[in-house]
Structures are given as C-alpha cells and as structure tokens.
Chains A and B, each alone.
Chain A
Amino acid sequence: MSDYILEMKNITKEFPGVKALDEVCFKVRRGEIHCLVGENGAGKSTLMKVLSGVYPWGTYAGEIVLNGETQQFRHISDSERQGIAIIYQELALFPELPVYENIFVGNEIMNGLVINWNETIVQASKILQRVGLQVDPTVKIKDLGVGQRQLVEIAKALSKDVRLLILDEPTAALNEDDSTNLLNLLRELKEQGVTSIMISHKLKEIVSIADTITVLRDGRVVCSLDAQERKISEQEIIRHMVGREIENIYPKREGLEPGEVVFELKNWSVTDRQSRREILHSVNLQVRKGEIVALAGLMGAGRTELALSLFGNVPGYDITGGEMYLKGNKVQFRHPAEAIEHGMAYVTEDRKANGLILIQDVKFNVSLPALHKLLHGLVVNEHEEIVMATEYKESLDIRAPSVQTTVGTLSGGNQQKSSLAKWLFAEPSLLILDEPTRGIDVGAKFEIYTLMNKLVEQGMSIIMISSELLEVLGMSDRLYIMSEGTITGELTAEEATEEQIMAMATKIGEGVAG
C-alpha cells in the first residue's frame, strides 16, 4: 500500500504564450502538512487548480492519482466528492448570508424537499467548535473579520468530510495572532487525519509547520525537501525559490540623486461610502523626482484603495480629510481624466479586469488615454496612431504580430507591456504601478524593471505597489509599509530587510505613527 494520498505525475499545462507547468511531479504523503512555495507566477496556483478540477481533465497533460486511483476531474464538484477541498486567497463566502448557511451552502442538510435549518445550525455550531471559532452561527459573514472568515472557509470544507485540504496563501491577509491560530488549527486537523497542502510566501510559517516543502520555479519542481528528516532553513528555501542571486533579477540603475518633492500626501483619510468604514487613516507620503517609492504590505492593506482614491476616485470614496500636492500645487481630482491632465498615470493591478480593453487591438489600447494627441480637428489620425503604437511596440518589445493584434490574445507579460505603453503615451510625470509584475514570467519581469529604471532616469517618479518583498527590496529607493489602511513604517532600500517589512506589514494599523 502506498503511503501517498496524492501523486501528480508529469503535469504539463500551457496557456497561450506561456508554459505554466512543465512536467511537474508532486507527491503528498497521507496525514502530512505539505507546503508549496515559489515566486509569483511559478505555477503553484495553477497546479492546485489542475488538482481541484478548475482546469478540467483534458486541458492539461499528465496524471492525477488519489488514494491509488487515477482521477479525471472534469469539475470542482468531482474533486470535492473525492474529499478534496480548496480554499482560495479570495474567499468564496456570501457576505449577506449567516455563518451556518455559508458553511452548508451547496451541501444542505435536507429534510425531504426542504432544508432542515435547525439541524444545520446545530451542525454548524459543532464544526465551528472544531475550528475554534467562537461566534454565533447566525451572524452574517460581513460582520466577521478576515481571520474569522478564513476559519469559516475551513469549517465549510470540514462539513464535507474533507481528507485533503488545500489552502492558497491562507495567512496572506491575516495579522500575527490570526495566523498563529490558523496554523495551530492545521496542526490539530493533522492529528485528526486531515492532509493539508498549503501555498505560502511566509517562510517563517513554512519552516515552523511543514512536514515536506516542495519548491516550484518557472513551472518546474526544483526540489522536494523533507522537513521531518532535518531542519530546513529559510535561506535554503529562498535559494531554491529564486535560483539565482538577487542582483541578477533586479537591474542596477545609475546612482541618481532624487530631486525635489513632486508629490505629497498629508493626512489623507478616506471612508468607503457603502460600508461607512474608514479605509485609509491619515496617510502621509512623499515622492521625489526620479525616485521609485514602493508601497509594501499584505493583500488588503489598502494600497490599491489609496491609489484609486488619488487617481480620480473612481470607486466614489468619501475623502474625509487631508491634502494632495502635485509639484507644490494643492490638487484633488474628481475623475481620472483630471489626474491624467495633471501628469498622473495608474497601471492597474488587474490588467484584465480594469487595465486593458481586451477585445480591442494594441494600438486602440495604447492611444486611449491620450487620444487628444492624435486629433486632427475632429478626426483621430490613424496613420499617426499606427506609427506611434509601432514605436512603443518596438521600444518595449511587445511581442505581437502587429499593432493590429487583439490584446486579449497576448501573453500576460506582453499585455502588461501594452498597459505600460498606453500610459507612457500619456507622458506622465508620476506613474503609479500596482503589482506591475504579477503573473508574468521572469524574462518579462526583467524587461519591466529595466524600463522602470530608464523612466526614472529620464526624470519620472514612480510609486510601485508590490506584495513581493524581493521586488520591493530590489527596485525601490525608499519604501512605505502599509497595514490596515495606515502607513506603519518608512524605510530606505539600504536599511530595509524582509523581516522588518514583514513585521511592519502585519502590525495592526491603529495608533502607529505614520
């Protein structure tokens, strides 16, 4: 009998333009906690999506063997039936429904044709006890904190008699206490015979909890380390993850003295109109000419919200206090159009959702924010547009047959470059990049870093929002760390360390000096 609960053999998964997984072999022993690590875009989430049936059988090559049997999952429900439960970074709960309904949604306790609500509540309470969450099961999800919601997700998985629990960065948005709770819960579940696969970037956690550590890089398994045999150090993991010296990935930039302050935020406070909660608390921030300033922090720290509130406030927040200065002038923008006029540009976090018009071609996208530059009277000059877009295509090395190619058909890296080209055409003096290298391959990352260096050397200023510590350390001159809507620290690139950033990023915002 095999002591492996799961064996994934030679899994290969391709997307247009990228090989996300390349002959990946991944084995999980029964009853262990198996950590899966790797940089963003290394293929961890893709591998888990293959396992859970999000990418159905047939869209990848290779074999999945669960409990000794070959599986062909065509849908998530197929893998759920086999006792696999996956908990994503973005939680899949219904905020308006109570906890007990969320736990049993899709798995309702029936009494003939109707749902037995009383039994549901009783069962929900039992499961909540098991995960150590002391809340009334009739409370609505929206009234719970992020850490509690994570536990509800796990409770939901347990209600389905889960044998293999997959957690995708479960502690990414949690503070230290909640993280510790969650890790303890995983240990308890292990005692009860539940096998867990955990994707995480937090090496300290991994070292403390993992029985086995598998490192992925660029879609390949680098190694599988047995942590029960010997103690694995964080340094060892980093070495396998990165596979090269940091200097290699982050190009050097000419030592420039940053110039005068071009952008400043004073006591910037923002309230979300719908939840009536203050989401940004008195943020103070300065950016100099020719400087790359990073905004580090965990998911949900309020960095994207900050960028949106500055850049024309599309979500319609209430700016409850504070001032914004651009080149010494006090400004406030009611629409991105005004921000663009004043020389700001914002490359969004999710290029597919709100960065690019995917059904249009490269030139349409690139010219969009600054069409006025191509206007001859009423008419958009298409000749100039083609010439201009082709120049950007060549200078940024956007790999597309022509500027007439639909953006949606390009790979992630080339989409990101198109997104950058579009904002460069608008000739901004302050460029906000929100997770500029998320989900793109190493080569394209390097090209984007090189471009960023060139831009600041030409006198542009960049605010880079990034959750990748190495990227923050490698690229920025100075960095601010955000947590729960507050700036919890400011460091120069020379003095900053990963541990320091992590500590500040997990600090509770309230009462910390900005």
Chain B
Amino acid sequence: MKTERVKPMVQTESLGSEVKALLLGNIRDYAMYIALVVIFVIFTVATKGLFLSSRNLINLVNQTGYVAVLAIGMTLILIIKHIDLSVGFVAGFTGAIAAILLMKGWNVWLVIPTVLACGVLVGVYQGFLVTKIKVPAFVTTLAGMFIFRGLLSLVTAGTGTIIVRNRTFLQLSNGYIPDLPWGAHFDFHLLTLLIGIFLVVATIYTQAKSRRTLQRYNFKTTSSVIFVTKLVSLAALIMATTWIMASYRGLPWTAVIVTIVLVIYNFILTKTRFGRHIYAIGGNTEAAELSGIKVNQVTFLVFASMGLLAALAGILYTSRLASATPTAGVGFELDAIASSYIGGVSVSGGVGRVTNTIIGALVIMSLTNGMNLLGVDISFQYVVKGLIFVLAVAFDVTTGNRR
C-alpha cells in the first residue's frame, strides 16, 4: 500500500453530523432502500410471515427476473432521454416465438439465440426509426406497442395459449443451480452458500479498493466507522439472502441470469467509453455531439440492446408461465420504467445506475408479490403501482431541483 501518499483527512465533523450529511446528500438512494424495507415489513406483518418465507422469497426472485432484465435495458434508454413503450409486447411476442419454435421441435439451444436475434431485430427497427428517420422514440415505440401486441395475437390466434414442455427451457425461470457432488452431505445447498461467501469477499475487496483509490487522490471519503458499518450490513444482507436460498433449494437460475446481465451492463456503463458516451448524451446531447460522440450510433445501439433484453425477458416470462399467452407482456413497460425511476434514473436524463435499477425492480415486484399474497384485486394493484411510480418521480424531481 502506498501509505506515504495518503494524507489523513482532516476530521472536522462529528460522526452524527456526517451521518446527517450522508443521509441528506444521498436521500434519493436511501429513500429507495427505506421504501423496500417498509414494503417488506408491511407485507410480512399483513401476511403473518408468509411474505418472508424462503419459498415466497425465491418466488419473488423469479418474478423479478424478467422485469429486472427489461429495467436494465430501459435504464440505458431513459439515461439518453428516450423511452421505450413497446418492451412489454416485444417480450410477449418474442416469448411466443420461443414457445412456437419449441413446439415445432427445435433444439432449445437453437431457440434461445434465435429468439434473442429476433429481439435485436426489433431493436434495430426501432433504433433505425428513431435515429435515421427521426421519429420521436415515444411515437416509434407507441406504434411498436400496437404492432407487437397485434403480432402476438396473430401468432397465438390459431392455438390460443401455447404450452411449453421442454424441461431445459422451463429450468430458466423455475429451476435451481445443481449442487456440488459432495453437497449431499449437508442439509443446505453447499454451492449456493459458497457463492454467497465469494460475493461477500468480492464486495469487501472492491469497496475497499475504490475507497483506497479515493483516499489516494485526497477525495472526500466516508469515515471508517460509517464505511465498516456499511460493509457489515451489506455482508449481512448478502449472507442472509444466500442462507434463505441455500436452506431451500439453492440459487435459482433466474438469479444467475439476471446477475450476469447486471454485471455486464454495469461494466459497460461505469467502465467503458461507450458508457461514458451514454451519460454524456443524457447530460447534454448537443455538447456530446460537438465533443465528437456519434449520438445516432450510440442511440441505435441502446435500442438494439433494449430489443435483446426484451427478448430475454420474453424467454424468462414464457419459461416462468410454462406457456405463451395472447396477453403476455401487458404492463411490463410500466414495471420496467417505474423500476428505473424508483432506482434513481433522472427524468431529465444523464443520471442512473443499473445496480440501483435492480433495487427499483425489487420494490415494484415486492409490491406485486405482496398484494398477490393478500389477494388484492388486480385492478387495485394497478392503482397502487401507478401511485408509487408517480410518487417516486415526484420525489426525484423535487429533490433534484435542490441539487
């Protein structure tokens, strides 16, 4: 360690005032976690603990999967100040294609890439309209919403609901990762637990590394008490989640898929030049263009990626229901957009993180899951979700104005 370069930060503020400043400065981020905790507490009490059962939590993860995948793609779209209203029915339509191809006896490992390619094609089509023809994204994707809803009805018209029986395909949203050969000796899922421990170690390592970087350049960092508290609670959260899964049937495949997508997109956004370009375009499109960023190219790729992720969401959803239905995808776009905004994407663009979007997706899907457990009518669920959505944005706008 290059300790000689580290000058100790002048400790002028007390712990109490630091906590206060931290809370005020990151109120937007914390509000999201607080909302999640409140939702968990309310539903746990209302369902007499059923909500927090291993079985339901695994269920929640599988339910969140397809929304999380859509929301990750949507985050990029919203950062560059566009919108995609078509994702729900694109997911429904591509999911139906998967079901049809499987019904025709295609190999599942051929079906998945084919369907993903279909998604990319949809994204390319919409990206072309937005960037080359200059049709506003709102119009392009509103039209897309109609088109793919229609196409979904068309392909399912003859058969109605298409049942999927392929076991491998069904595993995607219903299965669990296999355990290690010697895992049978334990009454919990060994591999899942090992993955959890690995995640804790990795988290501590990366957090400590980035903190050291900040200190090296004498940037402002949190005090060590706060830092350790944050690490301990993060580790506890990861271990608790891991334990719940390990003591049930292990890590669901959905969680693995979402994590891979998350890691890739987080890498792209935070580490690569392409990610910088996305934030620059969202922050000031004209300045970005004049700084040599090919705004059209980036926008096109972001729409293509949205298509890809919509298809992946379609696959996950079809797998989860074990069928493709003519109404698959209704309202997904709202869930995806709401997840992004609740996760802190700014309505004026240029700000947002996919890691927070995942938390936003959890907030939205815990609401859905909890209300389903309580047997709340679906119409009423829409009202609640709509209100939470508009509240999150209102909160963002009011706190954003003060920045």
A residues touching B (Cβ–Cβ < 8 Å)? 311-312, 314, 335-337, 339-340, 346, 348, 353-360, 364, 367-369, 371-372, 375, 378-380, 382-383, 386, 390, 402, 404, 422
Q: Which of B20-28, B47-55, B63-71, B283-291 contacts A (4 or more CB under 8 A)?
A: B283-291
20 contacts between A and B (CB under 8 A): A312-B292, A335-B294, A337-B293, A339-B292, A346-B290, A348-B287, A354-B284, A355-B290, A356-B284, A356-B287, A357-B283, A357-B284, A359-B350, A360-B283, A367-B276, A368-B291, A372-B273, A375-B273, A380-B273, A404-B220
Instruction: Given A336-B289, A346-B290, output 9 extra A-B contacts at Cβ < 8 Å.
Output: A311-B290, A335-B294, A336-B291, A337-B293, A357-B279, A357-B350, A375-B273, A378-B272, A379-B272
Cβ contacts under 8 Å, A336 to chain B: 289-292
B contact residues, total (Cβ < 8 Å): 24
The answer for the CA separation of A337 and B298 in the assembled complex, in Å, is 13
Cβ contacts under 8 Å, B61 to chain A: none
Q: Are B219 and A314 in contact, CB atoms less than 8 angstroms apart?
A: no
Q: Does B351 contact A (CB under 8 A)?
A: yes
The answer for the CA separation of A377 and B291 in the assembled complex, in Å, is 22
Q: Are A380 and B271 in contact, CB atoms less than 8 angstroms apart?
A: yes
The answer for the CA separation of A359 and B79 in the assembled complex, in Å, is 13
User: Taking the nearest CB of chain B, how far is it from the CB of A495, in angstroms?
Assistant: 34
B244-287 near A? 1/0 per residue, CB < 8 Å: 00000000000000000000000000011100100110011011
**Quick one: which of B220, B276, B294 contacts A337, CB cutoff 8 A?**
B294
Please, which residue of chain B has its CB at the minimum distance from the CB of A408? B403
The answer for the CA separation of A404 and B220 in the assembled complex, in Å, is 9
Q: Are B288 and A348 in contact, CB atoms less than 8 angstroms apart?
A: no
Q: Does B372 contact A (CB under 8 A)?
A: no
Q: Are A369 and B291 in contact, CB atoms less than 8 angstroms apart?
A: yes
Please, which residue of chain A has its CB at the minimum distance from the CB of B271? A379
Q: Are B288 and A357 in contact, CB atoms less than 8 angstroms apart?
A: yes
User: Taking the nearest CB of chain A, how far is it from the CB of B359, in angstroms?
Assistant: 22
Cβ contacts under 8 Å, B284 to chain A: 354, 356-358
- 10 closest Cβ contacts across the A-B interface? A357-B283, A354-B286, A337-B292, A340-B292, A369-B291, A336-B292, A371-B273, A368-B291, A357-B284, A379-B271
The answer for the CA separation of A339 and B350 in the assembled complex, in Å, is 25
Q: Taking A357-B280, A371-B273 as contacts, is the C-beta distance between A422 and B217 under 8 angstroms?
A: no
Q: Does B207 contact A (CB under 8 A)?
A: no
Q: Are A380 and B283 in contact, CB atoms less than 8 angstroms apart?
A: no
Q: Does B381 contact A (CB under 8 A)?
A: no
Within 8 A of A (CB), among B317-360: 350-351
Q: Are B219 and A368 in contact, CB atoms less than 8 angstroms apart?
A: no
Q: Does B56 contact A (CB under 8 A)?
A: no
The answer for the CA separation of A359 and B286 in the assembled complex, in Å, is 14
The answer for the CA separation of A4 and B213 in the assembled complex, in Å, is 63
Q: Taking A357-B283, A360-B280 as contacts, is the C-beta distance between A380 and B272 under 8 angstroms?
A: yes
The answer for the CA separation of A229 and B284 in the assembled complex, in Å, is 53
Cβ contacts under 8 Å, B279 to chain A: 357, 360, 364
The answer for the CA separation of A353 and B285 in the assembled complex, in Å, is 10
Q: Are B287 and A380 in contact, CB atoms less than 8 angstroms apart?
A: no
Please, which residue of chain B has its CB at the minimum distance from the CB of A367? B276
Within 8 A of A (CB), among B288-311: 288-294
Cβ contacts under 8 Å, A372 to chain B: 273
Cβ contacts under 8 Å, B288 to chain A: 357, 368
**Quick one: which of A340, A367, A404 contacts B219, CB cutoff 8 A?**
A404
Cβ contacts under 8 Å, A364 to chain B: 276, 279-280
Please, which residue of chain A has its CB at the minimum distance from the CB of B346? A359
Please, which residue of chain B has its CB at the minimum distance from the CB of A406? B403
User: Taking the nearest CB of chain A, how far is it from the CB of B21, in angstroms?
Assistant: 15
Cβ contacts under 8 Å, B283 to chain A: 357-360
Q: Taking A356-B284, A357-B284, A360-B283 as contacts, is the C-beta distance between A380 and B290 under 8 angstroms?
A: no
User: Taking the nearest CB of chain B, how far is it from the CB of A410, in angstroms?
Assistant: 15
Within 8 A of A (CB), among B146-196: none
User: Taking the nearest CB of chain A, how far is it from the CB of B212, in angstroms?
Assistant: 11
**Quick one: which of B218, B220, B271, B287 contacts A354, CB cutoff 8 A?**
B287
Cβ contacts under 8 Å, B294 to chain A: 335, 337
User: Taking the nearest CB of chain A, how far is it from the CB of B281, in angstroms?
Assistant: 9
The answer for the CA separation of A340 and B294 in the assembled complex, in Å, is 12
Q: Are A371 and B276 in contact, CB atoms less than 8 angstroms apart?
A: yes
Q: Are B276 and A380 in contact, CB atoms less than 8 angstroms apart?
A: yes
User: Taking the nearest CB of chain A, how far is it from the CB of B253, in angstroms?
Assistant: 27
Please, which residue of chain A has its CB at the minimum distance from the CB of B350? A359
Cβ contacts under 8 Å, A358 to chain B: 283-284
Q: Are B213 and A355 in contact, CB atoms less than 8 angstroms apart?
A: no
User: Taking the nearest CB of chain B, how far is it from the CB of A291, in angstroms?
Assistant: 24
Q: Taking A371-B273, A402-B219 as contacts, is the C-beta distance between A335 and B290 under 8 angstroms?
A: no
**Quick one: which of B220, B286, B293, B350 contacts A353, CB cutoff 8 A?**
B286
The answer for the CA separation of A402 and B273 in the assembled complex, in Å, is 22
Q: Are A348 and B271 in contact, CB atoms less than 8 angstroms apart?
A: no
Cβ contacts under 8 Å, A337 to chain B: 292-294
Q: Are B290 and A368 in contact, CB atoms less than 8 angstroms apart?
A: no
Cβ contacts under 8 Å, A335 to chain B: 292, 294
User: Taking the nearest CB of chain B, how far is it from the CB of A374, in angstroms?
Assistant: 8
Q: Are A348 and B290 in contact, CB atoms less than 8 angstroms apart?
A: yes
Cβ contacts under 8 Å, B287 to chain A: 348, 353-357
Please, which residue of chain B has its CB at the minimum distance from the CB of A344? B292
Cβ contacts under 8 Å, A379 to chain B: 271-272
Please, which residue of chain B has its CB at the minimum distance from the CB of A402? B219
User: Taking the nearest CB of chain A, how far is it from the CB of B331, in angstroms?
Assistant: 31
